[in-house]
């Protein structure tokens, strides 16, 4: 008994605990700052084209959006510290995305409100990068459109521009004239951005260059834009075939407004898009179908805002489609 009591009184031997953290434990890849810096680089061609066409007015919109976004991000970080640091460049990227869709003559206070909604509510309120349920720039644009529709009118913003093109948004004219509006626009003009749209969302060719850049670096997966183009073009072709007097050709929908911008930069947000390949493809198809339906059957001119937000709501459901585990039984 004495030996047992003596053994119990002894201190337990020192044990070395294994520190287990959430995987992955080893990775070779890019940090958030590098990822968002690449997104900013991808936006540069369209920004330069916008500055070429619109001059200092475009620089003003880009500068205000980035400035307000970064400042609001800094203040939010001071008030409520989180892992979503201002140094990760996400506020710069989001500021530019919002600037692309803003009217060229937007007042400073309108830009400020948009950035407050985008950063303060759309991003920070939900926990920052990796946590928000809706694309923040699109959410901010939706609030601005619903609150001040007259001030978000792209046709009014560019009415004094000295251009030898039809001075009304292509999709707006399509609403009033039907498919006959297509004859008022040159496909080449639409492609190179000589159309009435946001500050840079209509620079189709240059946005496409940026999108290919992201694809080449594998910052975005090809399944999403491919699914988007298939969904959009197929739906547009079916509607055009059933009623060619009302609905324009698929190419017209593709080149008008911010269609390509939506497919390569808004839907591909890493936080709001699905993870796996099949969900990514279905997500793109769904967004393309929704965009044409909103454009064709609603009173809204472009429909990008509502198509993106509706697709964002479906992303968690699509993520439930899991890839089959190879080599495992009864899984």
Q: What is the pLDDT of residues 240-282, one digit of tens each?
A: 999 999 999 999 999 999 999 999 999 999 999 998 999 999 9
Tokens describing residue 318: 């699509």
The per-residue pLDDT for 159 is 81
CA 189 to chain centre: 24
Mean pLDDT along residues 33-37: 92
What b/e readout covers 63-89, taking b as 16+ CB neighbours within 10 angstroms?
ebbbbbbbebbeebbeeeeeebbbebb
The per-residue pLDDT for 25 is 43
Burial label, 176 (beta-carbon count in 10 A; 0-12, 13-18, 19+): exposed
Residue 15 pLDDT > 60, yes or no?
A: no
Residue 112 pLDDT > 50, yes or no?
A: yes
Quote the CA–CA distance of 166 and 265 in Å, as a whole number.
27
State the chain's mean pLDDT as an integer.
89
Q: How many other C-beta atoms are found inside a 10 Å radius of the C-beta of residue 20?
A: 7
The per-residue pLDDT for 161 is 83
User: pLDDT of 146-178, one tens digit each?
Assistant: 999 999 999 888 888 888 888 899 999 998 898
Contacts of 312 (CB under 8 A, 6+ apart): 133, 134, 135, 138, 272
- Pick the closest to residue 180 from 239, 242, 236, 252 (CA basis): 252
* Domain boundaries along the sequence of the chain: 32-318
Look at the domain 32-318 and name its fold. Ammonium transporter fold (1.10.3430)
**In this structure, are residues 95 and 40 in contact, taking their beta carbons and an 8 Å threshold?**
no
User: pLDDT of 217-250, one tens digit each?
Assistant: 999 999 999 999 999 999 999 999 999 999 999 9
- Pick the closest to residue 322 from 285, 277, 281 (CA basis): 277
Contacts of 288 (CB under 8 A, 6+ apart): 227, 228, 229, 230, 231, 232, 233, 234, 235, 263
The per-residue pLDDT for 12 is 53
Percent of the chain at pLDDT > 70 equals: 89
Mean pLDDT along residues 176-201: 93
Please indicate whether residue 103 or residue 328 has the higher confidence score (pLDDT): 103
Q: What does pTM read for this prediction?
A: 0.87
């Amino acid at each position: 008994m004495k030996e047992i009591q003596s053994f119990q009184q002894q201190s337990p031997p020192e044990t070395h605990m294994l520190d287990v953290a959430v995987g992955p434990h080893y990775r070779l890849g890019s940090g958030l700052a590098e990822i968002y810096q690449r997104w900013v680089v991808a936006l540069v061609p369209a920004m330069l084209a916008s500055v070429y066409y619109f001059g200092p007015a475009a620089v003003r919109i880009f500068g205000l959006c980035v400035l307000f976004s970064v400042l609001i991000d800094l203040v939010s970080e001071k008030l409520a510290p989180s892992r979503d640091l201002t140094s990760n460049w996400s506020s710069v990227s989001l500021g530019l995305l919002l600037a692309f869709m803003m009217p060229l003559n937007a007042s400073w206070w309108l830009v400020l409100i948009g950035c407050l909604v985008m950063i303060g509510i759309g991003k920070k309120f939900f926990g920052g990068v990796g946590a928000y349920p809706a694309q923040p720039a699109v959410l901010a644009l939706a609030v601005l459109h619903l609150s001040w529709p007259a001030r978000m009118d792209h046709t009014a913003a560019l009415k004094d521009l000295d251009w030898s093109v039809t001075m009304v948004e292509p999709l707006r004219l399509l609403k009033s004239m039907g498919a006959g509006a297509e004859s008022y626009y040159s496909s080449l003009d639409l492609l190179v951005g000589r159309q009435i749209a946001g500050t840079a969302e209509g620079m189709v060719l240059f946005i496409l260059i940026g999108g290919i850049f992201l694809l080449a670096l594998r910052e975005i997966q090809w399944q999403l834009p491919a699914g988007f183009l298939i969904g959009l073009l197929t739906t547009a072709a079916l509607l055009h075939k059933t009623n060619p007097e009302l609905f324009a050709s698929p190419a017209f929908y593709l080149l008008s407004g911010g269609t390509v911008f939506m497919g390569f930069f808004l839907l591909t947000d890493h936080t709001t898009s699905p993870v796996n390949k099949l969900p990514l493809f279905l997500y793109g198809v769904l967004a393309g179908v929704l965009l044409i339906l909103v454009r064709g059957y609603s009173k809204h001119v472009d429909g990008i805002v509502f198509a993106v937000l509706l697709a964002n709501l479906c992303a968690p459901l699509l993520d439930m489609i899991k890839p089959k585990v190879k080599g495992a039984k009864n899984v």
